[in-house]
Structure 1
């Protein structure tokens, strides 16, 4: 009883302090109201914000405050995020038993007042608009002032009272609580655990905030761009059942993309559902998922101008031009077919694309997805599943992805298979965002068994006839499309997908056909609710196990049938018996010999090289070290380093960005990717028990690969060989510390922002459309 009385007393004390602080602010600066910030923004203030303030926010703040995982939900990617403010509620919560209410910027509330009713507190002053009130009543100012007061760091590694873990307890104080907060957490000013703003940057933000933090409204789009928007909206809102169903299919796959209508980077758009037609202001339809009932009789697909700054971790760029439109027309209209009904939005149908879109030929849908296959896969990595080990520990550290050739597979037999198995292709979202994981897993497991068994019978019946088991089974991008081969890297709790066969031969590979590609999207993108309960998140992860195994099984079809079992055994060493029973069961087997001829005792490695030759016309080499500006002797040293296995590589971070300078001038960025080896990846909770550090490897790539660097380094070009040798000779944790002492740019390093800016500039030059602001929430402190 005494313990509870103590807790209640503490709560009352804190509440009392907050009430007292609020009262004091009210007395000195007036009562708080969002209306107090409403003011005209002069041309001079607009220019000051755009030219001086916004670049500081982008380069110093957005790296930690973007996407769903922004601390305290404070998104600084747009003025609307600053107006919305922060919240004590977590978006990523792997323990909640019931789904929470969404709080998506621009979607789930329209005004600052509405965000206040949802529990968001201001970070800009909303009391009297005087210089003193604008500073003392601004969380943003108080946070940068607290960091400025702290001064420069005095140790290379920060003390344990800093917490950089993703699951850390977030304080998220309101302005009324900040006086108490800054006494208790005197080191927690902003930027948190990073070098303070420069004097000039601090003064610019102070001047801006003292004047009320004025932010201009977005300027109207240029007339020619408005014309393009109307053209595309007319194309996406055609009349008739067929046109509406095709547009719905396009929307449900592209709704997360950044759409470009021109060559420049200034304007990009999102495809949204609106209650209003083209030419009227967009009234966005806010639903958890893109296929949830819209609540209106007629849905209009509109292009919404996205005001947020480009952040690489959730940026999926796609250009809409006449060539793409012509391809879409050929995919969806070349074949004669009729759409006889609107599938509606009942959950049982809408969550299963094979039911909702069954009247659009599967071949048309597959061609559409293949056209931008990297982005189709990328959406599961850069979409709502953008954080968390549970979300991505279903995939290996590095693997290659290929696609089944639609020209040789999608015949009547394949269409009949999909039609007959549609009831076995249901996905977890059918159970909404509140799911009981065990019952759901058993059901989906049985459905997957039925589907794979039917698929295996089809392949055995059609192998060598309509379904070849040779290299013609592999889509070659028609000789022009570089999406034909992809590399996926997992970086523990996040991942990357790039074009090409990047790195050394991987342990596994996937061969993806249309049903698999479609289910990946509807499982991890369209059907995944980041605000869902723990059961929804868990069953989504468990279902993805089925899809990974199916992709691996498809790839094994091209290997000698006598080797398939031993290769699969190697992929799943130490897996528990239930997993082995599933993997080696009859419905996972196709007892047909491959038609690929092999001449070596390592058919998997031989197949990789045959595929490299088969896809040579379309392989993307943008990440190859040979494409860098570095002299040949340094490239050879880096290539030699890539062949190292085991040893002290286990002490390396998941990803490191190495800025190569020449006499201090930034020249090139090299990415170091730590590929952690596992006996298997079938365990949800005991990843450490499956680790095989003696089999670890690394990939070195030109440019920025990965969105969440763990470490920044700076190496003079002339020291690259020494750097490579030091990495190769790692044996202990102390060796890694010595490497960072010599070349690392820790959080505390005085050159941190110089290196950060240099990497950002080179990334923008290297990949102007794909590149964006990197995320620093995973920077190490060691």
Structure 2
């Protein structure tokens, strides 16, 4: 009964609002879905607005994933700012301010009607009207004035500035640079904006069985004994970005771990700190589980499962082990800059196994956290590489307690010198500490028994026979990245082996220690230190290769005089003295090693890649996969014309679609430097990796075709030799931003993702959807 009354109330409110529209608008409304509910309006907002306005990179900080974001409004200050000389005031929704007046004090201006505002149209309504009255040409490239670059300058007008803005930018209405809204969508949004009624939150009533689990978890995390308190701090610093999901619960209900001034059972009052290791204050605080009330977007959706098994695992790792603790460590940058000293009393094996248990989650946190934004954030890595992990029993930092006791001082992260203000000191800090640590590491391994035998296959973690996180593929998509379990695509140019010190430092460099509002020194320090950690991971992989091939393999990764100088300056002499523990049977040891790792999975992951890497006679008989093999993992001029991440939608009989992701793997002579990436591109070696399903968070383009058109699409694509050739492929098979089918295809892709992965799915971000033009240069 309550739901029925609520829907009726909403319908009346929206009907009243619509009553203020013009007569022609009212007629339009009458012919469409009449009196939409707030739930329906929220669905339109999500699919047409949130797909571009979410997270830190929302244009003008207008985050529309919740009504609180609508009320907060927009700001002229960008979160991502590569030239910022001082730290910015954090503006995290739900954390750094709680009321509209507080947001106005932080420089946010209204986009809807604040209490007491006059009767004039709000910014949201005026943007919608601007787009409505100035539609873009159907199926045509966007006008040059509509820039799509990630770092394009934004104007962000206030209500008082909008008239002048609209005269100068008549095509900048919403939705920006896309096909227009359908009539009923436009009418519903305008009616809602005028009504001022809050949209429903994504949060839902929590069933009793989940409330009981929350109470159990909060009691566990807030235990008073010192060991539990240190464990809880360690867990919080590693899970503060997680979307916590209880096994068996509604697949769309998630929670986040926060620090609150209030006890379990009371209303949560989040403690605002810049980083998770900052001091929460002198008063008692409590770890709480707060329900996520925002729309789920994939680019920040980091799912971590909770349940009885997880609770038992934590007790096994952290509390059932034999370790003692005197005083609790302090908080602050120095401590956050070195988790090896902060958590030195917790056994290293427990900490490393905690990371390994959910290695994919933590690798994805490097990617979906706020650090991963823009080309220079991810040009530190190759476009595709395979990751494995040193087994805990082979890792001296785990097996020898004195290793980290003596070596921790070399493992300081740049955040430990957060108050430094001299740009020139950044690379010196990174290089000095890292050079000292490598000397220490090499000396310790030379004095260990493994120096007599070398590493063999047993030194690579195999997932303990049950965990698919042991092997991971990382993809870079120019200005963002993605990761998935297993080895995908052809044999990559590079591979990483990650040990405990590498894993923990990457996490604290890119996630726990990264301040998205920090100044340029901090941003550069993060990037430069990650450069060191990439090289260390590559070096660890080389220890598994035959001694005589290591120097040449490394040289192939760092081609060019400047790259060689970079290697020399960083003291990266490839160690060809460390013995090889594997007797290779082929002349391609990298391939042999990596494929043999796949054989150790006991079915945890596919041994072959059915599209990109399968031997004759072993490839599955599947029409779609068989056809797409003609495009996969082979170089050609045509590859360079494709964007970084395309979605291929193959429509089958009955109207169902089968999605594939086309990943443009770009080759480089090296990834040793911050800038001028084009000069280091080896485009003739580019290939396409084709994956069933949907990966990545930012699709660059949709191709949509019937299954019987697939052979023609493949022939046309492989025949591309110029931008005009590619434009012909786009015209026949592509879906432009201005295509009448753009929004319907976007909805279908998101629905397909949700149906296939109801827990992991989130809305894809369309900010980086391409607009190919005749004059464009190949990627």
Match of 2:476 in 1: 490
Mapped partners of 2:596, 2:95: distance in 1: 48
- CA displacement 1:345-402 (0-9 Å, x = unmatched): 1432232100100000110000101110011111111011131111111000000000
Q: Does 1:389 align with 2:375?
A: yes
Match of 1:296 among 279, 282, 286: 282
- CA displacement 1:179-213 (0-9 Å, x = unmatched): 22222211111000011110111111122223223
Mapped partners of 1:312, 1:216: distance in 2: 20
- CA displacement 1:313-354 (0-9 Å, x = unmatched): 010011101111111211112321101111011432232100
Q: Does 1:234 align with 2:219?
A: yes
Mapped partners of 2:209, 2:384: distance in 1: 44
1:69-88 to structure 2, matched below 5 A, reads: 69-88=57-76
Match of 2:18 in 1: none
1:374-773 to structure 2, matched below 5 A, reads: 374-410=360-396, 414-432=400-418, 435-464=421-450, 469-574=455-560, 576=562, 577-582=564-569, 585-586=572-573, 589=575, 591-619=577-605, 632-662=622-652, 665-773=655-763
Match of 2:134 in 1: 150
Q: Does 1:191 align with 2:175?
A: yes
Deviation at 1:723? 1.5
Mapped partners of 1:467, 1:267: distance in 2: 50
Larger deviation: 116-125 or 438-447?
A: 438-447
Question: What SS does structure 2 have at the residue aligned with 1:538?
Answer: helix
Match of 1:277 among 263, 271, 288: 263
Deviation at 1:698? 1.1
Match of 2:306 in 1: 320
Mapped partners of 2:481, 2:318: distance in 1: 32
Match of 2:344 among 358, 364, 378: 358
Q: Is the 8 A contact 1:433 1:529 kept in 2?
A: no
Q: Does 1:257 align with 2:245?
A: no
Unaligned runs of 5+ in 2: 12-35, 614-619, 773-779
Question: What SS does structure 1 have at the residue aligned with 2:424?
Answer: helix
Q: Structure 1 residues 459 and 79 mapped into 2: Cα distance closer, same or farther (>3 Å)?
A: same
- CA displacement 1:24-81 (0-9 Å, x = unmatched): xxxxxxxxxxxxxxxxx95645585542110001111111000000001000101110
Mapped partners of 2:398, 2:640: distance in 1: 50
- Give the TM-score, by structure 1 length: 0.90
Q: Is the 8 A contact 1:624 1:702 kept in 2?
A: no
Match of 1:62 in 2: 50
Q: Structure 1 residues 622 and 771 mapped into 2: Cα distance closer, same or farther (>3 Å)?
A: farther
Deviation at 1:413? 5.7
Mapped partners of 2:344, 2:469: distance in 1: 25
Larger deviation: 146-155 or 763-772?
A: 146-155
Match of 2:85 in 1: 97
Q: How many residues align?
A: 735
Question: What SS does structure 1 have at the residue aligned with 2:744?
Answer: helix
- Give the TM-score, by structure 2 length: 0.91
Mapped partners of 1:617, 1:750: distance in 2: 44
Match of 1:201 in 2: 185
Q: Does 1:373 align with 2:359?
A: yes
Mapped partners of 2:354, 2:423: distance in 1: 33
Unaligned runs of 5+ in 1: 1-40
Mapped partners of 2:605, 2:428: distance in 1: 40
- CA displacement 1:383-430 (0-9 Å, x = unmatched): 111311111110000000001111343577643221111111111111
Q: Is the 8 A contact 1:634 1:721 kept in 2?
A: no
Mapped partners of 1:381, 1:700: distance in 2: 21
Larger deviation: 571-580 or 198-207?
A: 571-580
Match of 1:222 in 2: 207
Q: Is the 8 A contact 1:59 1:757 kept in 2?
A: yes
Q: Is the 8 A contact 2:454 2:579 kept in 1?
A: no
C-alpha RMSD over aligned residues: 2.2
Q: Structure 1 residues 411 and 183 mapped into 2: Cα distance closer, same or farther (>3 Å)?
A: closer
Deviation at 1:620? 5.9
Deviation at 1:663? 5.0
Q: Structure 1 residues 712 and 664 mapped into 2: Cα distance closer, same or farther (>3 Å)?
A: farther
Q: Is the 8 A contact 2:62 2:70 kept in 1?
A: yes
Question: What SS does structure 1 have at the residue aligned with 2:412?
Answer: coil
Q: Structure 1 residues 603 and 160 mapped into 2: Cα distance closer, same or farther (>3 Å)?
A: same
Match of 2:27 in 1: none
Deviation at 1:151? 3.2
Q: Structure 1 residues 465 and 93 mapped into 2: Cα distance closer, same or farther (>3 Å)?
A: closer
Deviation at 1:118? 0.8
Q: Structure 1 residues 95 and 392 mapped into 2: Cα distance closer, same or farther (>3 Å)?
A: same
Question: What SS does structure 1 have at the residue aligned with 2:629?
Answer: helix
